[in-house]
Amino acid sequence: MLQLALLLVAPAAASDVVVVRADHLYLGHGEPIENGVLVVSDGKVTAAGVGVKAPAGAVVIEHEGWVTPGLFGAFTMDGIGSERRDDTRPLMPEARIVHSLRPRTAALARNLRAGVTTITINPDTGRPCSGASALVKTHGAKVVDAELQLCLDISYGAVKADEHPTSLASLRELLDDVLSEGAGSFGRAASGELPVIIRARDRQSLRAAASLAKGHGLRGAIFGSYWAEELVDEVAASGLGVVCDPVGVATNHRALRSVLALAAGGVDISFGLVTPANPPENLRVGAAMCVREGLDPNIALAAMTGTAAKVSGAGDQAGIIAVGRDADFVLWSGSPIELSSSLEEVWVDGHRVHGGDDE
Amino acid sequence: MIATLSLFALSLSPVPHPAPRADKLVVYAERAYTAPGVVVTDALITIQDGKITHVRGGARASSADLRATCVTAGLVDMGFRYSSNQNTVEQSSEVTAAARIAPALDLHARGWERALRQGITTVAAFPVDRNVVGGMGAVLKTGGEPTLEARLVRADAFLRGSMGSSPSSGNRPSGTRPTNFYARRPTTRMGVEWEWRKAFYDAWQEESRGDADRPGRAELLRALSGETPVFIQAWATQDIRTAVFLAEEMAAEGMGTMRLIIGSGAEAWREPDLLVRSKAAVCLPPLPAAGRTTENAFMSMDTAAKLYEAGIPVALSAHSGYGSGNTLAEQAVYARRGGLPFDAALTAVTTMPARLLGVSDRVGTIDLGQDADLVLWNGTPFEFTTRPVGVVLDGTPLVGGETDR
Amino acid sequence: MIHFTRRDQRTMKNSSALLSLLLVASAPAASAADGKLVIEADAVVTLTGETIENGKIVIVDGRITAIGADVDAPWDAEHLDASGLIAYPGFVEAITSSGMDRPNENVDVAPFLDVRDSIDPVNAYFEDALRSGVTTLNIQQGPLCVVGARGHVVKPVGRTVEEMSIKPRAGVVLSAAPKRGKSRATQAQALRGAFGDLRRYLEKTVAEAKAGNDYAKREAMYQGREPDEESAKGRDLECSAWNVEGMKLVPRWEIDEKQAPLVSLVEGRIPAFIYCQNAMDVRVAIEIAESNGFLHKTTLVVTQDCDRAVELIAERGLPVIILGSLTRSEIDEETDEMEEIFIPKVYADAGVRFALRSNNATTQSLAYQAARCVAHGMSREDAMRAISVTPAEIIGVAKRVGSLSVGMDGNVVLYSGDPFSVEGVVQRVIIEGEAVYDRATDVRVRHLEQGETPDNTEPTDPEASEDDEAKDDEEEKEG
């Protein structure tokens, strides 16, 4: 990917400006920039790259370590307590999980302390369509997008014994029909306006998800990578990215191989945060496990930042350091995918909100 | 005698790789049971592109890639259940004639491999019998690439449904919470039969009146006319009677002559005349240990022999069985023990189910142009002291070798 | 269908029950005149050597006195013409808990119980045994125990347990597999605890004897025991694993009935059958047996994947009895590949002696189990041994049953063909010289095989049940 070239913007009042010089500056895509410089003003990024001159009077931070965009947490159910899903009907496309969000929950703070500055909050899977997810900043629970993705489930988890659909065949048919009819949110999904996230749990449902997406021209993601190893071509042909099942320390080789196979097959991958079931610290652990198994470190980094946001349909709103974007970034003692590195500071909207001398 | 399998020390690989179909494969057997009544000694079977291209006897083993004591065609199980999971049947309506099994199939489920390992290469697949009319069944191979394209032999091969208590068990009469999903479905056998009759009558009347089409009607009409066979599960005598009387009623009303196949017909031996006069075929369930089986039906050990002697087409099935005593091959041994002649037993697990499913042009015998589906045995098939030790499917050896103990 | 009243059906049910009772209880067909019988068969398979063509077996007073093609038969012996049939020794069921009132007790440690009190001679299980060629059965408690009751080796004929008895007090079962409600850890500890309790009891009893206390004697009298010449004496404990000093001071008859069988056990006098469900249990079973001195008398009764511990079993030279399915599959989690394992072969290849056990009398009979061993590549001889000689050795009755030779019990089964083949069907059974089963008069086999009902009446309505009969009684009262 491209490195940002030197870009000097008209300086704002010197006291608002923060400049961070880091041994390694990672922008959320491409390769890390050595001796990179980041300039922040009024909560936004005004410059990032090499050879950037610090405006006079700016606060300059010399960081011996790495700076990355705030990590992107894909597929969480934080802050919604037990109000995860409305079971009234199998299809509830107009339901929005954002209305279940309680802003002051500890889960969001914990995410922030792990370096995750933006998350998607999703309704639970287990119904053919459980509603729309939200894009939320972990600091202050600021809602960035109240209708981020349409959440679908095409796996055996969405088939019930006591309501339609009770068979996998009619589940498929149901989703096919509503996307073809194109009413409301389904119409916006079919037109590509509203990205989708489709839960798949086994090879049969992975195939079904890829086929559904291809057939209706959907964009967005499949959530469920564990069995993807054998089906990379089909997933790639669907045009969807993949939110990967969390990879932990003791994960077996199939999980790792699947992640690597997807990456090798040119599929955009995002590591799933999947809190609160999964500790947010595991995001880095999973990335490190994959790198140890052979994943390109830059792909691993992107899968926690820029590509992760893109796969979840939030590519315009989070995940990268770029001019004009919110200044959400993290200072690390080393590369975040080195488990020996520690998190030092978290900055959101141009202000340090965690770590450093204050704490 | 133990088969010697040389060169191909394969264990079953679940990862689908394109089968080397263009490769030639030559199989030698001391005795090849190519079709019921036909035994070729010192047989050499040549396979190319997944089909059998040559069969000759009196040959030498030296040129063969695979060798076995005996060889039969791949076994066909038309009563197969790869899983008991109810996610193959749409229970929101009791008659779902238009439902197709194919999208609901999990081709990665372990059940297919278990079938393949015991020599079953072709099966019928249909929705679990929880509906009155469950939908259209298909015929599939049990191995090869786990895609429908690779495995489907015939779609819409039959209409599957059930008599008896399985479509009504679990339903509660109205009087329970009206929002209960199961409160509106038939709760007795007569309710089940009523649904069948209603489904057929409605379809026929709508067609006569020229009503706008609706899903399921075409399937029911094809079943009524006999174009598609109707495969009805009926364990007990009363349910077999119900199925036959239903078919006879439809015929008497001039609505068509159904082709009836009784599934799991454990008590078919009690009233064979009924089956003879209705020209129904029977697929039997696995033999129980002491007679009593599902629906309290009593299956005597000579059931298969009795049906055969009465001239009723009979197929055997292992349902979902694998392991000691439950395989399809062993069902054939038990049937022989009960008096079924060897060739009739071979028929019941190869050519008869193939014929009933309408796939005889592809499977069931070892013959020129047939799919290269073979079972290699370590002795005369259908004996307690022998078993399948190798399986070739669509020309690819998928089971067999030193890895199986 | 002809409709029967409930009363008719009950009568028919009763008459079929009565018939099966008669079959088991009555003295059937040919009883040996003055206890002498000569069987002349097409072939006699002795399982000790060669098969004898046109062989004769002479049985006097229940024991074989001669076998051969050319033997002298007593002039006054009954002759059983078995031409067209092959004679085999009766098969031996290595362990079973069928045929009893209930296979398991609630009490964890219950070696003072005896299955003799639970065996039901008219249970259809014994008739089934005859029909499938089994003439010796080791009846033991089931696996839901810590230490179970004492077992009993029986033949499947007799009106009372005494008539059926071949060897009473035939060993004790233990279970390393957890009893309902226990974890493996608590089960193992319960096993250790049972023997710990034994030790403490013996030490206490010795102490009391030293103190001149006669509590044990009074308790023994209260429990209804009396000393005989042998048991009036005390003797040192003969346990190879641990000792309690001073046992000589305690007359043996005074030992509590709850503990006495365990004393026999640790002294290595009676066989132990230890149930194991998986490899973990094997380790525990061996530890318990070894640390309490009865490893050399132990047989492991194995199911599921105990074969994973085959090396441990082979090292200790223990025999096994294989229960449940003979095949199992293992799936490699990484590669997803399935491997099918034929369990008896694992033991055979490791040199472990094994016995098979039937799962029923028809589709998975003892002969069936052995035939499947042949199907999986074992020799006929090895397969046959696993249902005859080996279980007889394990139970400790090999001098009497399991094969045919002079001096052994006259237990002969006559088959219409090879027992491992489709044609091989049990035609006649002779136990200790008495002809006890004849297929020609076996009503139930015709029912199972051809669906015939007793006394050729119309088929019964399968929905008649005890509930219906209860309702029926009510209706009759009202009506």
**Beta strand pairing status for B281-283 and B314-315?**
parallel
Any CB–CB contact under 8 A between B212 and chain A?
A: no
Note the maximum CA span of chain B: 74
Number of domains present in the structure of chain B: 2
Q: Are C133 and C437 in contact (CB under 8 A)?
A: no
Alpha-carbon distances of A234 from A210, A229, A267, B242, rounded to whole Å: 6, 11, 10, 47
> Do B146 and B177 fall into the same domain?
yes
Q: Identify the DSSP state of C308.
A: G
pLDDT at position A1 over 60: no
In a domain? residue B19: no
In a domain? residue B387: yes
Of B90, B100, B107, the CB nearest to A165: B90
Q: How far apart are CA C349 and CA C346, in angstroms?
A: 5
> Do B169 and B182 fall into the same domain?
yes
Of B103, B180, B181, the CB nearest to A169: B103
Model confidence pLDDT, tens digit, residues C162-215: 999 999 989 999 999 998 888 999 999 999 999 999 999 999 999 999 999 888
In a domain? residue B253: yes
> Do B62 and B102 fall into the same domain?
no
Chain B: give the shortest CA distance to residue A176, in Å.
12
| Sequence-separated (6 or more) residues with CB below 8 Å from residue C103 | C97, C141, C142, C144
Radius of gyration, alpha carbons of chain C? 25
pLDDT of residue C133: 97
Any CB–CB contact under 8 A between B102 and chain A?
A: yes
Number of domains present in the structure of chain A: 2
What residues of chain B, 299 to 358, have a C-beta less than 8 Å from chain C? Answer: 300-303, 323-325, 330, 333-334, 336-338
**If we measure between CA atoms, which residue out of A220, A219, A267, A223 comes closest to residue A246?**
A223
What residues of chain B, 362 to 401, have a C-beta less than 8 Å from chain C? Answer: 378-379, 382-387
| Sequence-separated (6 or more) residues with CB below 8 Å from residue C348 | C354, C378, C382
In a domain? residue A7: no
Q: pLDDT-based confidence at A2, cuts 50/70/90?
A: very low
Q: Which amino acid is at A321?
A: I
Q: Regarding the domain delimited by C91-400, which CATH topology (the fold level of the hierarchy) does it fall under?
A: TIM Barrel (3.20.20)
pLDDT at position C428 over 80: yes
- The chain-wide mean pLDDT, for chain A, equals 92
Q: How far apart are CA C295 and CA C286, in angstroms?
A: 7
pLDDT of residue A358: 52
Closest residue on chain B to C360 (Cα): B289
Chain B: give the shortest CA distance to residue C267, in Å.
39
pLDDT at position C467 over 50: no
Residue ranges covered by each domain of chain C? 6-25+443-478, 36-90+402-441, 91-400
Q: Are A250 and A51 in contact (CB under 8 A)?
A: no
**If we measure between CA atoms, which residue out of C288, C323, C332 comes closest to residue C305?**
C323
> Do A151 and A224 fall into the same domain?
yes
Model confidence pLDDT, tens digit, residues C147-163: 999 999 999 999 999 99
Which is higher by pLDDT, C110 or C33? C110
Q: Are C206 and C254 in contact (CB under 8 A)?
A: no
Residue B207, helix vs strand vs coil: helix
> Do A39 and A50 fall into the same domain?
yes
Q: How far apart are CA A27 and CA A47, in angstroms?
A: 11
pLDDT of residue C359: 95
Residues of C in contact with A254 (CB under 8 A): 333-334, 336
| Sequence-separated (6 or more) residues with CB below 8 Å from residue B142 | B112, B113, B115, B116, B120, B121, B122, B123, B151, B393
Q: Which residues pair with C173 in a beta bridge?
A: C273
What residues of chain C, 291 to 320, have a C-beta less than 8 Å from chain B? Answer: none
For chains A and C, CB pairs below 8 A equal: 6
Q: How far apart are CA C363 and CA B289, in angstroms?
A: 6
Q: Identify the DSSP state of C355.
A: E
Q: Do C450 and B297 touch (CB under 8 A)?
A: no
Model ipTM? 0.89
Q: How far apart are CA C177 and CA C188, in angstroms?
A: 9
Whether the link from the prior residue into A276 is cis, omega within 30° of 0, is yes
Residues of A in contact with C332 (CB under 8 A): none
Q: Identify the DSSP state of B189.
A: H
> Do B250 and B271 fall into the same domain?
yes
Chain B: give the shortest CA distance to residue A153, in Å.
15
pLDDT of residue B174: 60
Q: Are B55 and B48 in contact (CB under 8 A)?
A: no
> Do A122 and A248 fall into the same domain?
yes
Would you state the structure tokens that stand for residue C84, as one six-digit string?
A: 């067209």
pLDDT of residue C213: 86
The domain that contains B57 carries what CATH number?
2.30.40.10
Q: How far apart are CA A270 and CA A286, in angstroms?
A: 11
Q: Which of A193-197, A335-339, C30-34 has the lowest mean pLDDT?
A: C30-34
Q: Are B205 and B220 in contact (CB under 8 A)?
A: no
For chains B and C, CB pairs below 8 A equal: 116
pTM above threshold 0.90:
no
In a domain? residue A1: no
**Beta strand pairing status for B281-283 and B260-263?**
parallel
The CB-based long-range contact list for C458-463 (8 Å cut-off, 24+ gap) reads C458/C2, C458/C4, C459/B270, C459/B298, C460/C4, C460/C9, C460/C12, C460/C13, C461/C1, C461/C4, C461/C9, C462/B236, C462/B292, C462/B296, C462/B297, C462/B298, C463/B296
> Do B215 and B351 fall into the same domain?
yes
> Do B162 and B187 fall into the same domain?
yes
> Do A78 and A56 fall into the same domain?
no
Q: Which domain holds residue B188?
A: 76-357
In a domain? residue A281: yes
In a domain? residue B405: no
Alpha-carbon distances of A280 from A111, A124, C25, C211, rounded to whole Å: 6, 18, 74, 70
Q: Are B362 and B31 in contact (CB under 8 A)?
A: no
In a domain? residue B235: yes
In a domain? residue A56: yes
> Do A208 and A343 fall into the same domain?
no
> Do B118 and B235 fall into the same domain?
yes
> Which H/E stretch holds residue C201?
helix C184-210
Residues of B in contact with C335 (CB under 8 A): 14
Model confidence pLDDT, tens digit, residues A232-270: 999 999 999 999 999 888 778 899 999 999 999 999 999
Q: How far apart are CA B307 and CA B318, in angstroms?
A: 18
Closest residue on chain B to A207 (Cα): B147
Q: How many CA atoms lie within 13 A of A151 on its CB side?
A: 30
pLDDT of residue B1: 40
Of C341, C363, C421, the CB nearest to B383: C421
Model confidence pLDDT, tens digit, residues C215-255: 888 988 998 888 998 889 999 999 999 999 999 999 999 99
Q: What is the distance in angstroms between the CA of the first residue and the CA of the last residue of chain A?
A: 36
Alpha helix segments (H runs only) across C241-335: 260-266, 279-291, 310-316
In a domain? residue B1: no
> Do B224 and B80 fall into the same domain?
yes
Would you state the structure tokens that stand for residue A169, as one six-digit string?
A: 């065949």
> Do A140 and A23 fall into the same domain?
no
Q: How far apart are CA C204 and CA C346, in angstroms?
A: 46
> For testing the chain C interface, which of A226, A230, A231, A254 should be mutated: the one with the most C CBs within 10 Å?
A254
Residues in chain B predicted with pLDDT less than 50, given as ranges, are 1-21, 402-405
CATH superfamily of C36-90+402-441: Urease, subunit C, domain 1 (2.30.40.10)
**Beta strand pairing status for A220-223 and A241-244?**
parallel
The domain that contains A351 carries what CATH number?
2.30.40.10
In a domain? residue B284: yes
Model confidence pLDDT, tens digit, residues C261-276: 999 999 999 999 999 9
Q: Burial letters for A185-213: b for 16+ Cβ neighbours within 10 Å, e otherwise?
A: bbebbbeeebbbbbbbbbbbbbbbbbbbb
In a domain? residue A20: yes
pLDDT of residue B15: 32
> Do A274 and A332 fall into the same domain?
no
| B120-125 sheet: strands from edge to edge | B75-77, B120-125, B133-141, B152-162, B230-233, B260-263, B281-283, B314-315
Would you state the structure tokens that stand for residue A87, as one six-digit string?
A: 């079971």
> Do B372 and B233 fall into the same domain?
no
> Do B192 and B156 fall into the same domain?
yes
Q: How far apart are CA B339 and CA B334, in angstroms?
A: 9
| Sequence-separated (6 or more) residues with CB below 8 Å from residue A308 | A71, A72, A74, A270, A271, A302, A319
pLDDT at position C462 over 50: no
Beta-carbon neighbour count of residue B369 at 10 Å? 9
Chain C: give the shortest CA distance to residue A24, in Å.
38
pLDDT of residue A162: 84
Of B91, B105, B180, the CB nearest to A166: B91
> Do A344 and A285 fall into the same domain?
no
> Do B353 and B380 fall into the same domain?
no
pLDDT at position A359 over 80: no
The domain that contains B289 carries what CATH number?
3.20.20.140
Model confidence pLDDT, tens digit, residues C276-324: 999 999 999 999 999 999 999 999 999 989 999 999 999 999 999 999 9
In a domain? residue B196: yes
In a domain? residue A49: yes
Residues of B in contact with A168 (CB under 8 A): 87-88, 103-106
Q: How far apart are CA C170 and CA A167, in angstroms?
A: 56
> Do B374 and B281 fall into the same domain?
no
Q: Which domain holds residue A243?
A: 71-311
Of B302, B333, B404, the CB nearest to C449: B302
- Can you give the three-state secondary structure of chain A, one letter per residue? CCCCCCCCCCCCCHHHCEEEEEEEECCCCCCCEEEEEEEEECCEEEEEECCCCCCCCCEEEEEEEEEEECEEEEEECCCCCCCCCCCCCCECCCCEHHHHCCCCCHHHHHHHHCCEEEEEECCCCCCCEEEECEEEECCCCEEEECCCCEEEECCHHHCCCCCCCCCHHHHHHHHHHHHHHCCHHHHHHHCCCCCEEEECCCHHHHHHHHHHHHHHCCCEEEECCCCHHHHHHHHHHHCCEEEECCCCCCCCHHHHHHHHHHHHCCCCEEEECCCCCCCCCHHHHHHHHHHHHCCCHHHHHHCCCHHHHHHCCCCCCCCCCCCCCECCEEEECCCCCCCCCCEEEEEECCEEEEEHHHC
